[in-house]
Amino acid sequence: MNSERALFGYHGQYLKIDLSKNEYEIISLSNERLEKFIGGIGLATSILLDQRDDHYPALSPESSMVFCFSPLVGSPVTTSAKFAVVSKSPLTQRLNDAMAGSGFAIAGKKTGFDAICITGRASRPSVVLIEQDCINIVDANEFWGLGCHETQNRLLEKFGKQFSFATIGPAGERQVRYATLSHDGRHAGRGGSGAVLGSKNIKAIGVHGAIRTPWANAEKLVAVSKALSKKSLGKATEKYRELGTVENLVTLNRLNALPTRNFQAGKFEQASQFDMSAFSKSAEKTRSSCAACTIGCEHIYKIKNSADTDHSSARLEYENLFALGPLCGISDVETVIQASALCDDYGLDTISTGATIAFVMECVEKGLVDQPIQFGNGDDLLNAIHAIGKRTGFGDLMAEGTMRLSQTIGQGSEKFAPHVKGMEIPGYEPRALKTMALGFAVQTRGADHNRSGAYDADFRGENRFHLDSNSAAAAIETENKAAIFDSMILCKFVRRVFDDFYSEAANILNLMTGWNYDVETLELAAERIIAAKKLYNIRSGWLPEQDRLPDRFFDDSTGEFGEKIDREKFAGAITSYNTQRGWQENGFLSDSLLEQLELAEFNI
């Protein structure tokens, strides 16, 4: 490939910090590696595979986590200021790839590294400060116990505004299995990255630097970026700008696809309370965006006259609205705002938090558990979040997530514990969106709507009611595209701004790197990245029976448009998915495929 060529868009090296040994080393990344895995989730997965520590549990000191930037970070390409964080998930004990957009990505890349790999465990609560090749691990006692917001402010006060920080909240410190990483008020939310950092005794990572990477064709890159930015202000992204994703709730409700009361129904009787355009009239609303984004989909709502001034405003998106609202039978938007703000401050993933509480609510309803946590009760919801964030009382069990909680409760509760591989299901009712159901089951990180956009296929034609080889092809198409978005890294909300995604993406990458991507090589890169993630899971002990949904979705219907899923057809669709990917029927990867995808070096 490109071993002798000059490097544009990359530094060609990553930093590895071993907290147990208090040592660091700088490791080269070959041009071949960078070209094959691009950056973001792709490159981070390859670095994680290099560590060969996949047999250790996620929260053990030996387990590594990789923060990874991309060739486009720092460029004018809209929405490109993002980083990926990849590790083993404490929820699933399989690969977790989370992402977020913030100044942390820009400052992190300027330290002179394409990625930062952290392993080991610090002997006491610490903050890691990285300033180019000056790495300091300093005491974090004064920050331990603080919420995400205050931690961020106090760190900036103490170490200076030249730093950008990724931090954990109290939930990460206590290793709640779905704790987040927070930065600039945004979160790398799913899969428990915050717990992994907490298990390493690290409260925050601060980055600062001034090392820039050159761009292969700066003039054309700027011109293409300008054109893309202009298009991103058009109709294709109007929904995100004007309404935000919160508007999904009433639409999905109309289509019987809104998970309600722990997936017992696809419609919420009080969904009209979540008409956020109407709600905006009585609340203060502001808009914001990730760094370097021209769309600005963030809609921040503030409750007027709230008694709890620390938790009276929150970024609302569809996922926190559904998970802390209808999924828990809650119809009061102000309660959902407060619950979201609490989750943000503890550093809790709102989807897993809402789903775990909703699961307990159903257990209480069925008489399997005796706890004051009832559907529709806002105070119960807020108390449960505090208990999880602090791991007090029953909250200590809830902090383990629905899979482990259902194993403790037993009595058949496993059948309706809403998770795949241990990760809680997001806001798409699988019985009403059957391609998405398949996407949830086969995803490497568990039930996930960010790495598989299979719902897109459900909102075309009549796909949402069928499961066949076409569903498998559609799920693969959306996953492959997502793998490239997540490796470049671009926000998927720009996806409809592209007329021909693969060729436009190849052009952008070529202008940055000077390499020769085309549609074919990018499609191959997508296949490679997805197979690499699967390989990590196989090395971690994945088995085919883990690609499944809870029994509820096969045994109960939610009424019209929510017919239960046919077990045989579902199994057939999974087999079809595997074979269409070129994998073995049961999902394992053959040696010849690994050779073909140039992954053989990782096959141990």
Chosen from ligand SF4, other proteins, none, partner binding at 242 (C-beta under 5 to 8 Å by type):
other proteins
Q: How far is the CB of 298 from other proteins (least distance, A)?
A: 12
Binding site for ligand SF4 (CB under 6 A): 79, 101, 240, 289-290, 293, 295-298, 491, 493
The smaller minimum CB distance to other proteins, of residues 133 and 242, is found at 242
DSSP 369-380: ---S--TT-HHH
Chosen from ligand SF4, other proteins, none, partner binding at 254 (C-beta under 5 to 8 Å by type):
other proteins
The smaller minimum CB distance to other proteins, of residues 32 and 560, is found at 560
Contact between 108 and 78 under an 8 Å Cβ cutoff? The reply is no
Q: How far is the CB of 521 from other proteins (least distance, A)?
A: 27
Contact between 544 and 586 under an 8 Å Cβ cutoff? The reply is yes
At residue 405's C-alpha, the angle toward residues 445 and 378, to 5°, is 95
Q: How far is the CB of 315 from ligand SF4 (least distance, A)?
A: 10
Chosen from other proteins, ligand SF4, none, partner binding at 56 (C-beta under 5 to 8 Å by type):
none
Q: How far is the CB of 493 from ligand SF4 (least distance, A)?
A: 4
Chosen from ligand SF4, other proteins, none, partner binding at 235 (C-beta under 5 to 8 Å by type):
other proteins
Chosen from other proteins, ligand SF4, none, partner binding at 514 (C-beta under 5 to 8 Å by type):
none
Binding site for other proteins (CB under 8 A): 234-236, 238-240, 242-243, 245, 247-248, 250-252, 254-256, 277, 317-319, 427, 449, 453, 455-456, 459-462, 465, 492-493, 496, 560-561
Q: Is 390 exposed, middle or buried (0-12, 13-18, 19+ CB in 10 A)?
A: middle
Q: How far is the CB of 495 from other proteins (least distance, A)?
A: 8
Chosen from ligand SF4, other proteins, none, partner binding at 124 (C-beta under 5 to 8 Å by type):
none
> Which residues are within 8 A (CB) of 278 and not within 5 positions of it... i.e. 6 or more apart?
none
The smaller minimum CB distance to other proteins, of residues 209 and 244, is found at 244
User: Which uninterrupted H or E stretch holds 426?
Assistant: none
The smaller minimum CB distance to other proteins, of residues 322 and 517, is found at 322
CA neighbor of 336 nearest in space, from 327, 325, 345:
325
The smaller minimum CB distance to other proteins, of residues 31 and 180, is found at 180
Q: Which two tokens stand for residue 222?
A: 């700027």
Chosen from ligand SF4, other proteins, none, partner binding at 247 (C-beta under 5 to 8 Å by type):
other proteins
Q: Which two tokens stand for residue 181?
A: 């990483």
The smaller minimum CB distance to other proteins, of residues 68 and 188, is found at 188
Chosen from ligand SF4, other proteins, none, partner binding at 296 (C-beta under 5 to 8 Å by type):
ligand SF4
Q: How far is CA 486 from CA 86, 144, 167, 230, 412, in A?
A: 12, 32, 22, 22, 38
At residue 324's C-alpha, the angle toward residues 319 and 325, to 5°, is 95
Q: What is the C-alpha separation between 409 and 371, in angstroms, rounded?
A: 12
Q: What is the C-alpha separation between 137 and 128, in angstroms, rounded?
A: 5
CA neighbor of 495 nearest in space, from 172, 236, 187:
236
Q: How far is the CB of 343 from other proteins (least distance, A)?
A: 17
Q: Kindly report the length of the chain.
A: 604
